Amino acid sequence: MTGSETSPSFTVAFVPGVTPTKWVRIWEERLPDVPLRLAPVTAAEAPGLLRDGGADAGFVRLPVDREYFSAIPLYTEKTVVVVPKDHLVTAADEVTTGDLADDILLHPLDDVLGWEEPPGRPARERPATTADAVELVAAGVGLLVVPQSLARLHHRRDLTYRTVTDAPTSQVALAWPEERTTDGVEDFIGIVRGRTVNSTRGRKGPEAQPKQKRSDKPAPRRKPTPGRAGGRTARGGGGGRGAQGGGSRRGKPRRP
Do 67 and 116 share a domain, yes or no?
Answer: no
Do 86 and 113 share a domain, yes or no?
Answer: yes
Reported confidence tier of residue 196, pLDDT bands at 50, 70, 90: confident
pTM for the whole thing? Answer: 0.74
Q: Give yes or no for residue 54 having a pLDDT over 50.
A: yes
**What gap in Å lies between CA 248 and CA 205, rounded to an integer?**
76
Residues of the chain above pLDDT 90, percent: 71
Do 72 and 84 share a domain, yes or no?
Answer: no
* Model pLDDT, residue 197: 77
Number of domains in the chain: 2
Residues of the chain above pLDDT 70, percent: 75
- Domain membership of residue 67 (yes or no) is yes
* Model pLDDT, residue 216: 52
From 125-139, 160-174, 204-218, the region with the lowest mean pLDDT: 204-218
Report pLDDT digits (tens) over 22-41: 999 999 999 999 999 999 99
* Model pLDDT, residue 213: 47
Give the torsion through C-alpha atoms of 184, 177, 199, 77, to 10 deg. 110
Residue 50 structural domain: 10-76+171-192
Do 35 and 146 share a domain, yes or no?
Answer: no
Read out DSSP for 32-76?
Answer: TTS-EEEEE--TTTHHHHHHTTS-SEEEEES---TTTEEEEEEEE
* Model pLDDT, residue 93: 95
Reported confidence tier of residue 256, pLDDT bands at 50, 70, 90: very low
Q: Give yes or no for residue 146 having a pLDDT over 60.
A: yes
Do 83 and 159 share a domain, yes or no?
Answer: yes
Q: Give yes or no for residue 69 having a pLDDT over 90.
A: yes
- Domain membership of residue 224 (yes or no) is no
Do 87 and 164 share a domain, yes or no?
Answer: yes
Do 65 and 123 share a domain, yes or no?
Answer: no
Do 175 and 141 share a domain, yes or no?
Answer: no
- Domain membership of residue 243 (yes or no) is no
Do 49 and 127 share a domain, yes or no?
Answer: no
Do 86 and 164 share a domain, yes or no?
Answer: yes
- The CATH number covering residue 31 comes to 3.40.190.10
Q: Give yes or no for residue 241 having a pLDDT over 50.
A: no
**What gap in Å lies between CA 138 and CA 87, rounded to an integer?**
11
- Domain membership of residue 214 (yes or no) is no
- Domain membership of residue 226 (yes or no) is no
